[in-house]
Amino acid sequence: MTENIKIYGSEKQLERLRNNDDIIFACVLSNTAVSKIPGISGAGGSPELTPYTPALDAELIMKNMALSLPEIAMTVEDGDPTPTPGVLTKATLDLLNIPFIAINAGLEVTPKVPYIELNGQPGGDLREGNGVPNPKEIFDNALITAKTLSKLTSHIMIAESTPAGTTTAQGVLTALGYDVRDKISGCMQINPHELKNSVVDAALAKNNLKPGDLKDDAFKAVEVAGDPTIIAIAGLAIGSDVPVTLAGGTQMLAVCGAIKAIEPDFDFSKIAIATTVYVVNDETSNMLDIANQIDENLTVYAADPEFEKSENEGLARYTKGSIKEGVGAGGAILYALLNGKTADEYRAKVEEIAKAQME
């Protein structure tokens, strides 16, 4: 219901999504070596397992099981597992029978399910000055993909699964000149700002750059300090002939920053960001300030599944700062609430899926 949706900007996108049974949910997948830095990400349960996370998310949604590993990897803090946000997205897709498409922007481990290939390569270690080796190729292939998807639907919801994506998002936004230091969210209760700052600082230093030096060059910003997902989603959004909802948090801010650099006159009323209240309310970050820096017409929606009411301790940890967002969870919750499902009905489905995955 709409009382569970916080609106920061225009309601236009809500009206496009309400009672709309003609959307496609696309999830862009990629990896970078940044996720293997100890302490920077909680995805996958350990740094060594993060390359599997995007593949496992796609497998969970499409096959209801892990195929690349014996089981779905979960974020673990203080010994307690928290269900992947893929569970949150799968709940909506199952409840409302929404078509799902996986898109490979640059994976180290590809999923054992069908996906669209953008011919990208995994991102490198930003500390060594290596971001994405072929951002323009990824972008161009995403443009083509968007044109095709636009012929199949009236609305594209675009999600992402990219371990350590908040750090690469900070890298791109910093290179583009936005004030994001200590304002970027993360998937753990304790946000490792100092570590993220050091990684981004190293990326720029290795390339003899200062913050803002690449304000007009999104491709170079991604090449130096980003990940394949950011430039792929920018291409999908720019190339789409139908409205787009960016389902995600910090990563989607970097996407919008890239779009602004590529097309300064881009009409941001064509898109909106849909995230969870857990990102918007995160006291260790400031998503709304960054969105306003990018464009005053950039709308953000925050959906609330009321996980504080959940008997599943893992889901309740979302309210305490674990995970918060990912795999399009915020957009999925938003869509469920706009299309006939109450927060209680949605949450019950999430609990059902989460329980099955944890057994």
323 φ/ψ angles, rounded to the nearest 5 degrees? 60, -70
Assign 210 to helix, strand or coil: coil
Enter the tokens of residue 36: 């293997």
Name the DSSP class of 11. Answer: S
Q: What is the dihedral of CA 318, 185, 132, 23, to 10 degrees?
A: 60
74-83, 189-198, 266-275: which range is least confident on average? 74-83
| pLDDT at res. 41 | 78
Q: pLDDT for 238-273, tens place per residue?
A: 999 999 999 999 999 999 999 999 999 999 999 999
pLDDT of residue 35: 95
Residue 214: domain span: 2-358
Return the DSSP state at 32. B
Quick check: 261 and 147 in contact, CB under 8 A? no
Summarised one tens digit per residue, pLDDT across range 264-308 is 999 999 999 999 999 999 999 999 999 999 999 999 999 999 999
Per-residue model confidence (pLDDT) at position 68: 94
Tell me how far apart the alpha carbons of residues 150 and 131 are, in angstroms, rounded to a whole number: 29
What distance in Å separates the CA atoms of residue 321 and residue 326, rounded to the nearest whole number?
A: 13
Are 58 and 113 in contact, with CB atoms under 8 Å apart? Answer: yes
How far apart CA 20 and CA 40 sit, in angstroms, is 38
Q: Which pLDDT score is estimated for 48?
A: 83
Is the pLDDT reported for residue 95 higher than 70? yes
Asked if residue 358 has pLDDT above 70, the reply is no
**pLDDT tens-digit map of 33-76:** 999 999 897 665 678 889 999 999 999 999 999 999 987 766 65
CATH number at residue 254: 3.40.50.10210
170-185 pLDDT tens trace: 999 999 999 999 999 9
Query: Regarding beta strands 271-276 and 300-303, do their DSSP bridges make them parallel or antiparallel, or are they unpaired?
Result: parallel
How large is the average pLDDT for residues 206-227? 98
At residue 151, φ and ψ (nearest 5 deg) are -80, -10
Alpha-carbon distance of 209 to 197, in angstroms, equals: 15
Task: Specify the higher pLDDT residue, 154 or 356.
Answer: 154
Q: How many CA atoms lie within 13 A of 357 on its CB side?
A: 33
Report pLDDT for 356: 83
Please state, for a pLDDT cut of 90, what percent of the chain lies above it.
87
Q: Alpha-carbon distance 256 to 261, whole Å?
A: 9
Number of domains in the chain: 1
Confidence (pLDDT) at 80: 67
- Which residues have a Cβ under 8 Å from the Cβ of 316 and sit 6 or more positions away? 307, 308, 310
- Res. 204 pLDDT band, cuts 50 70 90: very high
pLDDT of residue 123: 98
> Is the pLDDT confidence value at 77 over 70?
no
Nearest-CA neighbor of 37 among 164, 133, 130, 160? 164
pLDDT for the residue 357: 75
